[in-house]
């Protein structure tokens, strides 16, 4: 299994992403400001947008391309379908619920089998959740995740309902374009892959 080991803050600076989007907090450094070429080609802009989405969701090239091909086959706009598919990943939903401080930590929680979908143990972070799926936490780690959830205090998107008492989440709808919390031009990704 391949692992992306790029330095997070350097990558955020290059791609123009705020580290808070990834779950990291960091104040900008004066030393990091680099002078770059003023003009970037159209291909360079398209590639940067693709790299931005891959980096935010923690997906490598092969899996990203497969997701793009699935988005292409769906009805509707390919770019929005791609972002919708990325938002519906299990590890991303765990991050969105506040069970993990970063998407990488959410992926680890899923890999270790601490979460269940519809009462069954699932350890595949890339699984796509559908409307009606219910996420529960194993009792052995429930207290740790509750404390983490309280410390992150992240707003839960409208397409996920969360019961604080039972600590059960349910997918009640599909994510829309407005649910994406970082700037991305999905049209550029579609143009890149359509060449």
The whole-model pTM stands at 0.84
Max mean pLDDT among 69-83, 136-150, 155-169 falls in 69-83
The residues that bridge with 89 in the sheet, in sequence order, are 128
Domains and CATH numbers, the chain: 8-86+183-193 (1.10.1050.10), 90-173 (3.10.290.10)
Q: Residue 147: count other Cβ atoms within 10 Å of its Cβ.
A: 10
Over range 173-185, report the average pLDDT: 84
The residues that bridge with 168 in the sheet, in sequence order, are 136, 163
What confidence tens digit (pLDDT) does each residue in 104-128 have?
A: 888 988 999 889 899 899 889 889 9
- Annotate 41-60 with b (16+ C-beta within 10 A) or e (fewer): eeeeebebbbbbbbbbbbbe
Over range 1-24, report the average pLDDT: 77
- How far is residue 151 from each of residues 40, 129, 144, 170, measured CA to CA in Å? 40, 25, 11, 21
Q: Between 186 and 143, name the one with better pLDDT.
A: 186
State the pLDDT at residue 27.
Answer: 64
State the pLDDT at residue 35.
Answer: 60
DSSP tag of 127 = P
C-alpha 43/C-alpha 46 separation (Å) is: 5
Q: How confident is the model at residue 68 (pLDDT cuts 50, 70, 90)?
A: very high
Does residue 165 carry a pLDDT above 90?
no
Question: Which sign does the torsion angle of CA 154, 159, 164, 169 carry?
Answer: negative
Over range 30-52, report the average pLDDT: 78
CB 177, CB 82: distance < 8 Å: no
In terms of Cα–Cα distance, which of 105, 95, 100, 88 is closest to 173?
88
Over range 67-94, report the average pLDDT: 91
């Amino acid at each position: 299994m391949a692992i992306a080991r790029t330095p997070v803050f350097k990558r955020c600076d290059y791609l123009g992403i705020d580290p808070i989007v990834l779950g990291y907090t960091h104040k900008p450094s004066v030393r990091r400001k680099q002078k770059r070429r003023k003009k970037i080609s159209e291909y360079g802009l398209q590639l940067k947008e693709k790299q931005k989405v891959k980096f935010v969701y923690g997906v490598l090239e092969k899996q990203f391309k497969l997701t793009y091909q699935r988005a292409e086959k769906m009805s509707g706009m390919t770019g929005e379908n791609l972002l919708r598919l990325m938002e519906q990943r299990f590890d991303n939903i765990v991050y969105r619920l506040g069970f993990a401080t970063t998407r990488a930590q959410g992926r680890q929680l899923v890999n270790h089998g601490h979460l269940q979908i519809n009462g069954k143990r699932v350890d595949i972070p890339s699984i796509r959740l559908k409307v009606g799926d219910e996420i529960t936490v194993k009792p052995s780690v429930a207290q740790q995740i509750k404390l983490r959830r309280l410390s992150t205090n992240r707003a839960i998107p409208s397409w996920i309902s969360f019961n604080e008492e039972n600590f059960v989440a349910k997918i009640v709808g599909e994510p829309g374009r407005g649910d994406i919390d970082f700037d991305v031009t999905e049209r550029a990704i579609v143009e890149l892959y359509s060449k």
